[in-house]
């Protein structure tokens, strides 16, 4: 069994104790969409360690004076950043695999503004203000 921070492990009473909140508060946060646990077949809430960490973050932000809508928006943005970070990691791994599988076949031109243009091997840049970046793999 693979257990990670997103595995739904804790019943509401345990999650409430771990987060230092009352179970009714967790139910309210679920209704508001602040922290939404997974559900069992019988519709019981099951909280992950990530959910507990978010509940603690809600308590901290609330203590600092933020309202629940502001907290919901912050959590939403933090979750989106986490998703995008994971996607970037996946794409970086795919790119690294591709570069290892086909060494020396990727050539790019980079402009002053940071724009990147893929080039075929032997193709020249169209503008003179671009720098061609190419790094062959293999013996030097």
Tens of pLDDT, residues 30-66: 999 899 999 999 999 999 999 999 999 999 999 999 9
CB 117 within 8 A of CB 125: yes
Please state the pTM of the whole predicted model.
0.62
First-last CA distance in the chain: 46
Residues linked to residue 39 through DSSP beta bridges, in sequence order = 45
For residue 108, pLDDT beyond 80: no
Phi, psi angles (nearest 5°) of residue 5: -65, -20
CATH number for the 12-94 domain, one of 1.20.58.2050, 2.60.120.10, 1.10.1660.10, 1.10.1040.10?
A: 1.10.1660.10
Spatial CA neighbour of 12 closest among 46, 40, 35, 38: 46
What is the residue extent of each domain of the chain?
12-94, 104-135
Phi, psi angles (nearest 5°) of residue 67: -85, 170
Instruction: Give 15's DSSP letter.
Output: H
């Amino acid at each position: 069994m693979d257990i990670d921070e997103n595995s739904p492990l804790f019943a509401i009473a345990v999650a409430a104790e771990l987060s230092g909140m009352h179970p009714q508060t967790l139910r309210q946060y679920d209704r508001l969409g602040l922290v939404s646990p997974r559900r069992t077949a019988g519709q019981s809430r099951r909280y992950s360690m990530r959910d507990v960490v978010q509940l603690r973050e809600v308590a901290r932000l609330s203590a600092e004076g933020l309202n629940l809508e502001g907290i919901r928006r912050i959590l939403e943005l933090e979750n989106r950043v986490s998703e995008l970070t994971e996607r970037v990691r996946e794409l970086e791994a795919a790119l690294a695999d591709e570069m290892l599988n086909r060494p020396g076949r990727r050539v790019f031109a980079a402009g002053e503004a940071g724009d990147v243009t893929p080039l075929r091997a032997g193709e020249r840049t169209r503008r003179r203000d671009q720098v061609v970046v190419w790094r062959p793999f293999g013996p030097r």
